[in-house]
Amino acid sequence: MMETLQRRGLKLAIISNKPDNAVQPLAKRDFQGLVSLAMGEAPGIARKPAPDMLVYAADRLKVELSACLYVGDTEVDLQTAENTGIDCICVTWGFHTREVLMQAGAVSIADNANELIHLICGQA
């Protein structure tokens, strides 16, 4: 899925509230070459749901926030996207079920990688 999104010209990033020293090895091990940026909690940047991490990532990637889309699996992810002023697609293969995500306000929800690609890119 991530390779497909890259081929379509999208920049991918990992934004996590986990400590950065845990995120970096995970990103290198599991997502080598698939993400343009991976970041975890770092001094001076407020944690999600504050918009700071997303604003920082967009700046580092030289992408306008209006061109960004957030993919997440929790209520905090929904709040983060809302606080940043960008759209969010939730996925059901993370921490919460479709029902929990809908109760939290999710509008766009993907149950698998193909659905996520379709929601991000539309039919190709």
Domains, the chain, ranges and CATH?
A: 2-121 (3.40.50.1000)
- The confidence score (pLDDT) of residue 86 equals 97
pLDDT at 123 over 60: no
Query: What's the pLDDT tens digit per position in 2-14?
Result: 999 999 999 999 9
pTM, rounded to two decimals: 0.92
pLDDT at 122 over 90: no
Q: Roughly how many angstroms between the first and final C-alpha of the chain, as a whole number?
A: 14
Strands (E), the chain: 13-19, 37-41, 69-72, 87-91, 108-110
Query: What's the pLDDT tens digit per position in 75-87?
Result: 999 999 999 999 9
- The confidence score (pLDDT) of residue 124 equals 39
What are the residues facing 110 on neighbouring strands? Answer: 91
